[in-house]
Structure 1
Amino acid sequence: MSPSAGGLVVFLLSVQVIQSQDGWRVNYRQTDVCAAKGSKVELSCDYTHPPGKYPSDIKDRFWFTKEKDGEPADLRTDSEYSGRVRYECYSYIKSCYMIITDVRESDSAEYKFTFRTNKPGEKYTGSPGVTLNVTGLQVQVRRSDSTWLELTCHSSCVLSDYFEYVWSKNEEIIKTGSSLPVSSGSTDRYSCYLRGYWNQRSPAVYGPQRPSVSVSPSAEMLEGDSVTLTCSADANPAANYTWYKEHEDSPRASGQIFTITDFTAEHSGNYYCEAQNEMGRSNSTLRLITESGVDRTTMIIHITRWTLVSVMLILLLVFCLWTRKKKAVSSTTEPHESREAVEVRHLSSETELTKGSSSVVIKS
């Protein structure tokens, strides 16, 4: 390994693979490498060319995983590796190291080394290449006895003993080592990581928090209704759910959702949802009530009766308002009609008197 490479480097298997053809050869120092997510990994190889070739004849040398237009594509030009790849190649000893920093699970692939001379078409690629597996850390939970659990930090591929595992409880460092004993039933959060890589710690494991329970359509039910209960709890590993009714030893149902069809008064009471995983258990209570003695027909009759009463009251109010308005109109028009009648009668009297007077004059 190059002294300047430094950092965290992980190897699973060290086996030499030599490919040769007329003096051309690539020797990979490791064929399988297992790296922890977020760490730094180094891949290395030695290469040989036929006699008569000089270091100055080597035009290009690089690592690749993909091809473009039928030709290997230098990993340094791949946008997915931008700023994370560098080479350390030495012509006098014919070796080349590739360092990848902040490795990701998407970096898992087969990496090959190729080199070319200044003679057109003269090139050689070492195949098969180096298989890189990038893994995140996980915590396994195993029960030791009725009161104790054993937590183990592990990965999908075996990492070197060179690494030191560190454990945290509620994000505070508590212990080093690949395993950790904890008491059963704890709701504390435990995670592990490799020393120096705090940001790449495993997902925390913890027992179920207090479950939340919801009911649909309502917590107060009518006889004959169908009710669905749903329970959920924050937990890792994921929790299993069991439903119980108060004063009953046997569970009513299992699973996150519990449905009661044709709800009756006998179904009323307290129901318990218990969430459980390898770390512990927790429960929550819900009370369901039915309106005993009230069936749907009776309810419909009550609703109809009150609807009719409301309609009649509205109609009565409208009639009263209409009657009041009519009286107001009548009171404003009667005085005018009386004065006109008086004036007509007065004019009639004057006419009769005039006629009478004329008659008298003619007669004399």
Structure 2
Amino acid sequence: MSVTAAASGFVVLLLTVTVVQGEDDWGVRCTPTQICAVKGSKVQIRCSYWHPSRIDGHDVAVEKEFWFTKVQDSEPVDLRSASEYTGRVKYDCGNKACTLTITDLRDSDSDVYQFRFTTNHPTGSLTGLPGVSLSVTGVQVLTTKLSACKTDDCSWSRVECQTSCPPTPSPSYIWFKSGQKTSGEKSYTAYFHSADSISCAVRGHEDFPSAPVCVDGNSCNRVNYINRNICAFKGSSVDISCSYSSYYKRITSKSWLVAERKDVQLHRPQAVDLLKDPEFTARVQVLDPEPGRSTLRIMNLRLSDSAQYRFTFKSQWFEWERSFPGTTLTVTDPDVQVICSPIGPTLTCHSSCLLSGRPSFVWFKNGREVHGETSPTFRGFLHPENNYSCAYEHHHSSPVYAPKVPLVQLSQPGDILKDSSVSLTCSSDANPPPAYTWYKENQTLLNRAAQLVFRSIPLSDSGEYYCTAENELGKTTSKRVLINVKYAPKPPSVSVSPSGEIMEGSSVTLTCSSDANPAANYTWYKEDEDSPTASGQIFTITNITAEHGGKYQCEAQNTHGRSNTTLHLTVGAVSPGSWRSALIGSAAAVFLAVTLLSVFLLIR
């Protein structure tokens, strides 16, 4: 199994052993098998796989690729249909590889992730084992007060940055003292003022720091963001919130900044006050729902709004440092879709980008809203004759529905000749795309693919064929299609009746037969004659003479070819002795008949 992990977040590879499962022709490869990533960040897990290109003369094609952590009713549950991953997973599959991306990592995401692919072959499915073990760690600061200062407003304290996954190799750390970035080791000791807060992050992943904590006491200057990552659709609105506190109670000003937008003149990142930026002034609101809490609302989102947003405040003697990481907003085009699960079956409204705290969905059946269905999973009864769709933030998915009655098409019009190449194609309107299966007459399963290919069709393949189209919502069957394999006549066989010597004055019947499709027409020719002697399968000669002797040819012909067979007919002459014997025998028979009749009359 092969997994490549990457993250725009803290990723630590604990084990880099490559594990391969499967025989030479089937396999899944992922490496490493264990990943550690920071809470709130994103992680990417990649697997590659392989399979035979052909089995038993049929092409092997991949029908489905997905990831799972749980099995229900003996079936793996696609992550996209699991409610706890709604809006946070995305697949990028192609070229016999598939990458799973999980964003906004949570503690509950710690699990073993397995990749599975299925093909059109009846036994062609494989799950990568043992899977990829993901551990999600939070970053937090532990403080230890060692001694008090001579004054009451400071202390000599030790601070330590902790994670649940020990990094390998050990990384360096970034510290934020009252929002001001500073370097340091995993732990260090220093004097801290009572107004100071402290936060840490792994170097290179400063966007995911720990929540700031007060080193000395419970009141200090700090800002804590409700969400570190938010995703939203283009054209929608979004709320970015934070909580804050000031050691010096009186706050003189507050503002929201958009960071990491390049200044055209300075060519360097510069934080811009949103209320003074012409790109935002008409589209933003700053709300203060309660003391110590601020919310930035951005409306009519644009793709260019993807950036990091930070909050800052000022008091008489302090200003929260603008370098402290805030909330990263990602604006995307809508990608709402309905995911069908084979379990149940069930439908899930899925998007790789859903707004945090706003999980309201709308479901539709045959284009009409289903009232009461507001969860990402449709809980109503699914009927194969209906179509279903969902909407989120006024963005509609495409409808899903069971396959319509499949249409079967032959690769070529007209007659199908023996040993020619022929294919049958099964197609059906369905979403998700259906899996196809081919059968012959007595329900013998032939192939699991959209096409049934005969590269050199034999006579034995004549018969009726049909296909089925099936997806998670239903199954339909096509009409039967007759394949009638045609071929030219085979060399005819000729019989003569009566058999034995043929004498002058007698009659003889010649019969010609040939295996052909369609049935052959027969023509008789006598040697040295330009025109046919007779036509039809049976040729009878009466009162035969010596002139009838000689070579005869029977030709069998249909639209696909002709074949012939020759025989020699010999006619024997009748000798005078044989005529005399015949006459004497006839007279004796007449005399005997007359005698018997006379005796009979005398008795009467």
* TM-score using structure 2 length: 0.36
Q: Find out whether 1:289 has 2:289 as its counterpart.
A: no
Amino acid at match of 2:179: S
Amino acid at match of 2:237: K
The Cα shift of 1:226 comes to 0.7
Q: 2:296 aligns with which of 88, 98, 104?
A: 98
Instruction: Report 1 or 2 for greater relative contact order, CA contacts < 8 Å, sequence distance ≥ 6.
Output: 1
Aligned equivalents of 2:455 and 2:282: distance in 1? 59
Give CA-to-partner distance per residue, 1:231-263, whole Å, 9 cap, x none.
222222221111112x22221111122211112
Report the CA distance shift for 1:301/1:31 in structure 2 as closer, same or farther (over 3 A).
closer
Aligned equivalents of 1:97 and 1:202: distance in 2? 30
Aligned equivalents of 2:337 and 2:448: distance in 1? 28
Aligned equivalents of 1:183 and 1:41: distance in 2? 34
Give CA-to-partner distance per residue, 1:298-346, whole Å, 9 cap, x none.
97978xxxxxxxxxxxxxxxxxxxxxxxxxxxxxxxxxxxxxxxxxxxx
The Cα shift of 1:291 comes to 2.1
5+ residue gaps, structure 1: 1-9, 303-364
- In the other structure, the counterpart of 1:210 is 405
Report the CA distance shift for 1:153/1:25 in structure 2 as closer, same or farther (over 3 A).
same
CA RMSD of aligned residues (A): 4.8
- In the other structure, the counterpart of 2:435 is 240
Report the CA distance shift for 1:46/1:141 in structure 2 as closer, same or farther (over 3 A).
closer
Q: 2:366 aligns with which of 167, 170, 181?
A: 170
Amino acid at match of 2:443: D
Q: Find out whether 1:190 has 2:396 as its counterpart.
A: no
Give the match's secondary structure for 2:403: coil
The Cα shift of 1:159 comes to 6.4
- In the other structure, the counterpart of 1:265 is 459
Give the match's secondary structure for 2:371: strand
Amino acid at match of 1:172: R
Paired residues of 1:26 and 1:125 also in contact (CA < 8 A) = no
Query: What does 1:197-346 correspond to in 2, within 5 Å?
Result: 197=393, 199-218=394-413, 220-245=415-440, 247-285=441-479, 286-293=481-488
Amino acid at match of 1:171: G
- In the other structure, the counterpart of 2:380 is 181
Aligned equivalents of 1:54 and 1:181: distance in 2? 53
Give CA-to-partner distance per residue, 1:62-121, whole Å, 9 cap, x none.
2145445221375979xxx8899424378xx898643233558x689662327699xxxx
Report the CA distance shift for 1:65/1:230 in structure 2 as closer, same or farther (over 3 A).
farther
Aligned equivalents of 1:220 and 1:83: distance in 2? 73
Give the match's secondary structure for 1:266: helix
Paired residues of 1:28 and 1:45 also in contact (CA < 8 A) = yes
Structure (1/2) with the larger strand percentage: 2
Paired residues of 2:489 and 2:561 also in contact (CA < 8 A) = no
Give the match's secondary structure for 1:282: strand
Report the more deviating stretch, 224-233 or 162-171.
162-171
- In the other structure, the counterpart of 1:40 is 237
Paired residues of 2:285 and 2:298 also in contact (CA < 8 A) = no
- In the other structure, the counterpart of 2:325 is 128
Report the CA distance shift for 1:282/1:48 in structure 2 as closer, same or farther (over 3 A).
same
Give CA-to-partner distance per residue, 1:188-210, whole Å, 9 cap, x none.
1111234xx4x413332210122
5+ residue gaps, structure 2: 1-86, 88-103, 107-137, 141-175, 181-194, 197-220, 491-556, 563-604
Aligned equivalents of 1:240 and 1:33: distance in 2? 37
Q: How many residues align?
A: 268
Give the match's secondary structure for 1:251: strand
* TM-score using structure 1 length: 0.56
Structure (1/2) with the larger helix percentage: 1
Give CA-to-partner distance per residue, 1:37-65, whole Å, 9 cap, x none.
764211134678998x9958x9x852145
